[in-house]
Chain A
Amino acid sequence: MTVTSGVATGEAARAGAPGRQPKRKSLHAGEGRRGTLLVLPTIIALAVVIGYPIVRAIVMSFQKDAGLDPATGLFVSGGNAGFSNYTHWLLQKCGDVKCPPGTLGSQFWPAMFNTVFLTVITVAFEVVLGMAFALVMNGAFRGRSLLRASVLVPWAIPTAVTAKLWAFMFATAGVVNAILHRQIIWGSGEWTSRFAVAIADIWKTTPFMALLILAGLQIIPGEVYEAARVDGASAWQRFTQITLPLVRPALMVAVLFRTLDVLRIFDLPQIMFQGGGGSGNATTTLSIRVDKQIRAGFNSAAALSTITFVFIFLVAYLFVKVLGANVIQTQQAQQKGTI
């Protein structure tokens, strides 16, 4: 958003409207200094609440945790660890040997798998459902604002409550089994617990996806559809040839936001299945892994959270580079369409 306006004015200055920009500049002398001054408090605040913890986490991640060395069984009291905290997670090394199964170090890749699995499945379903919802909501009908309000309900319910609600509905004697006429023990199966978390997350966030896509749909001018209809395009053709290409930028941004959001998922699996469904780790995500690790050792947890952070950053980078999710321009266009 912020980015938006910046680009808008920046481009205007470069390309068009050469007359307006200098005029305003002269009107506000010292604009640059004022801008910096106004932004400064925020930068300081963010440096304290985000910058400092990041730097501190990185420093911590290169230090040894005090405690028993898992390889030698001797007590070590901190000190420089080099990359050993990172190799502990990434290469599953405990000292010089491979971490035995069951230790925390061996649980990194399963946690990574759970996180990526949840991300892929929830985002895929949210795109399809969100698109369908947005198409329905884009039409004109009575009670449209009522529907839009009800779509906000899953979003407004705190995730902790959502998790309890779905855990209750997925209970063995709960309403989901009653409707399905099954006796599935959702929490103890490896895949059933994963799907239970996925379903709860899809329920909670599809509305958000639908609203973002709807904002993208609303900026497509109606004449385009009119022209296509006159030319004899079928409804399916209109969808694939007009709607999809035109809504793609908004869709990419929505997918980017959702992907980054679900990669850090914590509340839902943590509360639904106390940190791990199945035999105990089936729904343990990266964030839950970090949270569990904190009690076993700060520094090792710091390394893991840094890995998580870098991983999410890389995914964001790939999205913007490869898939061309243009956060800036899309938001600009949406703003004009919706606000």
Chain B
Amino acid sequence: MASTTAGATGAATRSSSDAVPVYSKPAVTWAGVRKYIGIAVIAIFCLGPFYWMVVMAFREVGYTFDNTLYPTHVTLDNFRAAFSTQLGNHFGRALANSFFIGLCTTVIAILFGIFAAYALARLQFRGKFVILGIILGASMFPGVALLSPLFQLFTNIGWQGTYQALILPDISFALPLTIYTLTAFFAEMPWELEEAATVDGCSPGQAFRKVILPLAAPGLFTTAILAFIASWNEYLLASELSSERTQPVTVAIANFTGSVPHEEPYTTVMAAGTIVTIPLIILVLVLQRRIVAGLTAGGVKG
């Protein structure tokens, strides 16, 4: 990626120094060059550290601080080390945990959120503004304020370290995010269709199920992705409420131990980080238009 953009600027500067283009290509202006420099800067800024993570994930341990900027001493050992359980790391299990927790959180948030979002986008009822305020406030709520009461509560009822102790608190941010984003998508739907369906004899419930839901599927999917990513990335609550058995991947990565005491197994951690990130990057690449729409509509960071 970085190389592509570097190529782009390279091309831009080359053609500008060539001077006097014979063919009727648009003349290379200073503004045009500046624009491509800007694009290159953005691409390097955003992708540089990510590129470095991937390079390090494939570099031999002995060359951890070699600092050569291009891939050298390529190996797959780091990925093997990441999944190895010899040193007390359970990365594979943590991946499965994260997936399970994320899936449960997303399904619950969507199930609750879809009805609320429909009502908020579509219906007039008393107390609507209060509810809007509550949901907006909840999306900005500091997770740490949940920590001490939940920690004590879960300890008292023996939930400490269980899956439900991780899924339940995740609802606190996934549900407001879901409602927020879904309402934005619902507000943009062609509601005349629903009215037409009701006129044709559908009950409001039928009209929703048979007409609106299929149309809302892309918005629903995007919202689900955003909720899943938010839950997948959660660390604060999980770091206190999970046990070794249930810990999600963020906690596992933060606590990775290496073979040498007091020495960070950086290349292994970078390999683990790459594995955790790649699925998200693919989702982002495929769905970027929708995700950007959902993000700017919701204005909530994952």
Contact = CB atoms under 8 A, between A and B. Distances in A.
A116 interface: no
A153 B43 CA distance: 10
Contacts, number: 349
Interface string B210-233: 000000000000000000010011
Given A5-B120, A35-B123, A50 B141 contact: yes
Given A160-B254, A161-B253, A257 B280 contact: no
B10 to A, nearest CB: 15
Contacts of B39: 136, 141, 143, 147
A339 B293 contact: yes
Contact of A308 (B144, B149, B195, B233): B144
B184 A4 contact: yes
A277 to B, nearest CB: 15
> What are the nearest 10 A-B pairs in CB distance?
A35-B125, A35-B123, A264-B142, A160-B250, A38-B119, A136-B38, A161-B273, A42-B116, A173-B65, A56-B149
25 contacts: A1-B183, A2-B180, A42-B135, A45-B175, A50-B141, A50-B172, A139-B35, A141-B35, A147-B42, A153-B46, A153-B284, A155-B295, A158-B233, A158-B276, A160-B235, A161-B253, A163-B254, A168-B270, A169-B49, A211-B295, A264-B144, A267-B236, A294-B148, A308-B145, A339-B184
Contact of B277 (A133, A157, A271): A157
Nearest to B43: A150
Interface string B166-203: 00110110011001110111111000000100100000
A257 B301 contact: yes
A2 B124 contact: no
Contact of A28 (B123, B184, B188, B302): B123
Contact of A31 (B123, B176, B295): B123
Interface in A22-79: 24-25, 27-28, 31-36, 38-39, 41-43, 45-46, 48-50, 52-54, 56-57, 60
B161 interface: no
A105 interface: no
A215 interface: yes
A49 B171 contact: yes
A305 interface: yes
A38 B118 contact: yes
B49 A132 contact: no
A243 to B, nearest CB: 15
Interface residues of A, number: 114
Contact of B145 (A38, A57, A270): A57
The majority secondary structure among interface residues of chain B is helix
Interface stretch (A94-102, A188-196, A330-338): A330-338
Nearest to B250: A160
Interface of B: 1, 8, 35-36, 38-39, 42-43, 45-47, 49-50, 52-53, 56, 65, 67, 69, 108, 112-113, 115-121, 123-129, 131-138, 140-153, 168-169, 171-172, 175-176, 179-181, 183-188, 195, 198, 204, 229, 232-233, 235-236, 239-240, 249-251, 253-254, 264, 266, 269-270, 272-273, 276-277, 280-281, 283-285, 288-289, 291-293, 295-302
Contacts of A251: none
B50 A157 contact: yes
A35 B297 contact: no
Nearest to B199: A27
A331 B133 CA distance: 14
A321 to B, nearest CB: 15
A107 interface: no
A164 to B, nearest CB: 5
Contacts of A339: 184-185, 188, 293, 297
B49 A159 contact: no
Given A50-B172, A173-B65, A309-B142, A165 B47 contact: no
A37 to B, nearest CB: 8
Given A148-B292, A159-B235, A335-B184, A41 B115 contact: yes
Given A2-B120, A2-B121, A205-B301, 16 more contacts: A2-B180, A2-B183, A3-B129, A28-B204, A41-B116, A42-B175, A50-B138, A143-B8, A158-B280, A161-B276, A164-B266, A173-B67, A270-B235, A291-B240, A302-B149, A339-B297
A171 interface: yes
A263 B140 CA distance: 10
Interface string A167-198: 11101011100100000000000000000000
Interface in A213-253: 214-215, 253
A267 B26 CA distance: 48
Nearest to B282: A156
B285 A149 contact: yes
Given A166-B49, A168-B266, A38 B144 contact: no
A312 interface: yes
Contact of B128 (A6, A57, A313, A331): A6
A171 B266 CA distance: 10
B52 A175 contact: yes
A304 B225 CA distance: 34
B179 A42 contact: yes
B141 A305 contact: no
A123 interface: no
Given A208-B301, A264-B144, A27 B183 contact: no
Interface in A259-310: 260-261, 263-264, 266-267, 270-271, 286-287, 290-291, 293-294, 298, 301-302, 305-306, 308-309
A6 B129 contact: yes
Contacts of A206: 45
A257 to B, nearest CB: 5
Contacts of A43: 131, 134
A188 B87 CA distance: 28
Interface string A129-148: 00011011101010101011
